């Protein structure tokens, strides 16, 4: 375990505005693959719309979930981790109380975030579920990286942009608040929250009236670099959609987004969900699984180069 | 400071490396069209009509410049000041040192002409078959079939100090035809074989070719071995 101390922990959050794009499916399968690769992965079910990872991962109820953490009946997140039947993977169950994330107040949220960061794990995967509520956005923003899931449908694409814009607005407002700059916060609220402008339109107009604020706010967005996954692709055109979205986001939302991958549509996903068998284990050779495995390799924390160059005797 | 769309250079606009091959330019152009055309899923609900018009116009321009070796060279030199990676390259051969100086001083003029030429090309293109719009490859092939380089012919004539009227008389070709040729006004030009023949006659008249007729007159702005002599 000494090796783990030299490895930076990655916190992945899987989100995106629309329901049914496959966020929980991706979270679960990605976490299983990461668990197999690394051996110390925790997956957190933070789905506001209704948690179901315990079903996807067929974990029995042990009476502890995020709800008990929020209600203060358990003081540490580590206590509510449950083993799964998959190697290297532990689960933190979502709360059956659907108002859980909505009721999460500021201090409890900070506590939750602190404890997520302190979890004894190499990687943490947070399944955010549907919606653009503040608490969902905040968990997405603290993740490095956040993963946005989109499907090739106008509604899903629209929600993706809405989600990204909400994240950006949230970052800008938090930034303004942090520096106690109410004037700036107001500008953001007026220029972005109350209309359908793109971020570019907002920043372009800000640049002409207040160049200094423009610079400050642009800098605030620099560290937000989400990944994009296009799910249920049926054609080359759908695959290219990912690159198109990344380009639109760069040009009109002024955010650097990277394409993590495109997952092909596969009818069997539906059946594997019904059978409660994780797809990646039932069809390891399928192109869906291959894609998810490639994503896991890309996302897995890298050991420090020195340990690669000098493998320990056991490794040889 | 965020760059405005109209301030991005063509490489930034199309997400291309400075040394992108013509094939990469073409692919990037097709992807950009797919992204930003009116029914593009990726830009759905994001862009205002004005923003869309602007970026589509820039994409067209970027493609027309970057796909053509000569236009691209001239363009590269014009952006070299903020792209230090781009080494300043001479546009013309060393042996023609005199011409090089002359042409360099004319650069601004030339770029302006280039712009108006591109505008007219684009207008023509818009009038054209809508079906071709999404398929730049077919379009390129189509256009290549009847494009030639009016600007080139005009410069060649002017360099020889010949008025249109004069050379029309000398070569026994109608002045209207020559004018249409230089302005690339296709509606006033014959098509196919006849055009090729007249081009050949005119080229010999101007002394542009030695033996094999049209070879030295670039048949299209996309001509690979374009040379200014």
- Bridge partners, residue A262, by sequence: A230
Asked if residue B10 is part of any domain, the answer here is: yes
CA distances for A30 relative to A25, A161, A229, B126, B136, angstroms: 8, 24, 12, 47, 39
CATH of the domain at B26: 1.10.287.110
Q: Which residue of A has its CA nearest to B6?
A: A251
User: Residue A208's closest CA among A189, A194, A185, A191?
Assistant: A191
In this structure, which long-range contacts are made by residues B49-55, counting pairs with CB atoms below 8 Å and at least 24 apart in sequence?
A: B51/A198, B51/A200, B51/A201, B51/A252, B51/B5, B54/B5, B54/B6, B55/A251, B55/B5
**CATH value at residue B183:** 1.10.260.40
Task: Let me know whether B60 and B162 are in one domain.
Answer: no
Q: Maximum Cα–Cα distance for chain A, whole Å? A: 63
- Are residues B138 and B151 both part of a single domain? no
Do residues B46 and B138 share a domain?
yes
* Burial category of A156 from C-beta neighbours within 10 Å (exposed 0-12, middle 13-18, buried 19 and up): buried
Residue finishing a domain among B145, B180, B204 = B145
Which has the higher per-residue pLDDT, A280 or B112? A280
Give me B120's structure tokens: 């007219």
C-alpha distance from residue A130 to each of A13, A54, A143 (Å): 12, 17, 16
CB contact under 8 A, A247 and B35: yes
Residue B55 confidence (pLDDT): 93
Same domain flag for B104 and B25: yes
Q: Which one has a higher pLDDT value, A3 or B151? A: B151
| Contact call for residues A279 and A29 (beta carbons, < 8 A) | yes
B169 plus B127 within the same structural domain: no
Examine the domain organization and report whether B36 and B117 are in the same domain: yes
Same domain, B105 and B189: no
In a domain, B107, yes or no: yes
State the pLDDT confidence band at B166, using cuts at 50, 70 and 90: confident
Q: What percent of chain B has pLDDT over 90?
A: 15
More confident residue, B121 or B129: B121
Min Cα separation A190/chain B (Å): 19
CA A12 to chain centre: 5
Q: Which of B126, B145, B164 is the last residue of a domain?
A: B145
Residue range A259-271: average pLDDT? 91
Residue B34: closest C-alpha in chain A = A244
Token pair 């039947």: residue:
A85
d(CA A299, CA A10): 8
Domain-located, residue B228: no
Half-sphere exposure of A282 (CA within 13 A, CB side): 14
Query: Nearest chain A Cα to B55, which residue?
Result: A251
B192 inside 8 A of chain A by CB: no
> Are residues B187 and B87 both part of a single domain?
no
Q: Which pLDDT band holds residue A11 (cuts at 50, 70, 90)?
A: very high
Domain contains B223? no
Region B36-45: what's the mean pLDDT?
Answer: 86
Q: Is the residue at B133 inside a domain?
A: yes
Judge: B1–A215 Cβ closer than 8 Å, yes or no.
Answer: yes
Residue B105 lies in a domain: yes
Q: How confident is the model at residue A291 (pLDDT cuts 50, 70, 90)?
A: very high
What's the pTM? 0.69
Q: For A194-232, how does the pLDDT look when each residue is reduced to its tens digit (9 = 90+)?
A: 666 788 888 888 888 888 888 888 888 988 999 999 999
Asked whether residue B226 is assigned to any structural domain, the reply reads no
Same domain assignment for residues B22 and B121: yes
pLDDT digits (tens, 9 = 90+) for A13-72: 999 877 888 898 999 999 999 999 988 999 999 886 677 888 888 887 777 788 878 777
- Is it the case that residue B147 has pLDDT exceeding 90? no
pLDDT digits (tens, 9 = 90+) for B54-95: 999 999 999 999 998 888 888 888 888 777 777 544 444 444
H or E, element range at B97: helix B97-105
Per the structure, the count of domains in chain B is 2
* CA angle in degrees (0–180, nearest 5) for A20-A26-A30: 170
The reply to whether B108 and B156 lie within a common domain is no
Co-location of B44 and B141 in the same domain: yes
A-proximal residues of B, 6-35, CB under 8 Å: 15, 31-32, 34-35
The answer to whether residues A44 and A35 touch, using CB atoms and an 8 Å cutoff, is: no
* pLDDT tens-digit series, residues A143-181: 989 999 999 999 999 999 999 999 999 999 888 888 877
Same domain assignment for residues B22 and B122: yes
- Contact at 8 Å (CB) between A35 and A281? no
Q: Is A240 an 8 Å CB contact of chain B?
A: yes
Structural domain span for residue B138: 5-145
Structure letter (DSSP) for residue B194: H
Q: Which domains does chain A have, with CATH numbers?
A: 10-144+266-300 (3.40.50.300)
Last residue of a domain, one of B96, B119, B145: B145
B11 is a domain residue: yes
The whole-angstrom separation of Cα A110 and Cα B137 is: 54
């Amino acid at each position: 375990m000494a090796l783990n101390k030299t490895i930076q922990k990655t916190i992945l959050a899987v989100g995106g505005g629309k329901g049914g794009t496959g966020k929980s499916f991706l979270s679960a399968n990605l976490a299983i693959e990461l668990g197999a690769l690394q051996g110390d992965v925790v997956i957190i079910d933070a789905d506001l719309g209704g948690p179901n990872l315990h079903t996807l991962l067929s974990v029995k109820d042990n009476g502890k979930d995020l709800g008990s953490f929020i209600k203060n009946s358990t003081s540490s997140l580590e206590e509510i981790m449950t083993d799964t039947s998959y190697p290297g993977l532990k689960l933190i169950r979502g709360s059956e109380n659907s108002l859980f994330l909505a009721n999460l107040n500021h201090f409890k949220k900070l506590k939750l975030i602190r404890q997520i960061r302190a979890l004894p794990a190499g990687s943490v995967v947070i399944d955010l579920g549907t919606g653009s509520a503040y608490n969902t956005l905040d968990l997405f923003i603290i993740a490095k990286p956040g993963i946005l899931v989109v499907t090739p449908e106008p509604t899903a694409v629209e929600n993706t942009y809405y989600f990204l814009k909400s994240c950006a607005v949230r970052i800008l407002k938090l930034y303004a608040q942090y520096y106690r700059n109410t004037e700036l916060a107001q500008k953001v609220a007026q220029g972005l929250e109350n209309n359908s402008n793109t971020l570019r339109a907002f920043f372009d107009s800000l640049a002409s009236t207040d160049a200094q604020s423009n610079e400050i706010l642009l800098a605030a967005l620099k560290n937000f670099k989400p990944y994009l996954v296009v799910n249920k692709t049926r054609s080359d055109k759908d695959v290219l959609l990912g690159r198109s979205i990344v380009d639109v986001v760069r040009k009109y939302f002024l955010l650097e987004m990277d394409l993590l991958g495109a997952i092909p549509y596969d009818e069997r996903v539906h059946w594997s969900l019904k059978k409660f068998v994780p797809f990646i284990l039932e069809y390891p050779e399928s192109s869906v699984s291959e894609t998810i495995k490639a994503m896991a390799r890309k996302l897995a924390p890298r050991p420090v180069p020195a340990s690669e160059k000098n493998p320990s005797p056991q490794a040889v | 400071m965020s760059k405005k769309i109209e301030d991005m250079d063509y490489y930034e606009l199309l997400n291309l490396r400075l040394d992108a091959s013509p094939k990469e330019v073409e692919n990037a152009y097709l992807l950009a069209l797919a992204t930003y055309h009116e029914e593009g899923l990726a830009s759905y609900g994001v862009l205002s009509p004005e923003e869309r018009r602007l970026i589509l116009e820039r994409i067209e321009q970027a493609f027309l410049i970057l796909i053509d070796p000569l236009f691209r060279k001239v363009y590269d030199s014009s952006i070299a000041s903020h792209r230090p990676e781009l080494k300043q390259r001479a546009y013309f051969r060393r042996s023609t040192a005199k011409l090089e100086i002359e042409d360099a001083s004319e650069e601004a003029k030339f770029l302006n002409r280039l712009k108006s030429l591109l505008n007219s090309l684009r207008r023509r293109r818009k009038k054209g078959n809508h079906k071709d719009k999404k398929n730049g490859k077919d379009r390129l092939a189509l256009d290549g079939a009847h494009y030639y380089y009016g600007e080139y012919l005009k410069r060649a004539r002017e360099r020889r100090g010949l008025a249109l009227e004069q050379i029309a008389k000398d070569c026994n070709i109608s002045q209207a035809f020559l004018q249409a040729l230089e302005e690339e006004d296709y509606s006033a030009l014959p098509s196919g074989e006849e055009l090729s023949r007249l081009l050949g006659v005119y080229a010999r008249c101007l002394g542009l070719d030695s033996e094999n007729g049209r070879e030295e007159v670039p048949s299209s702005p996309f001509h690979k071995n374009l040379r200014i002599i």
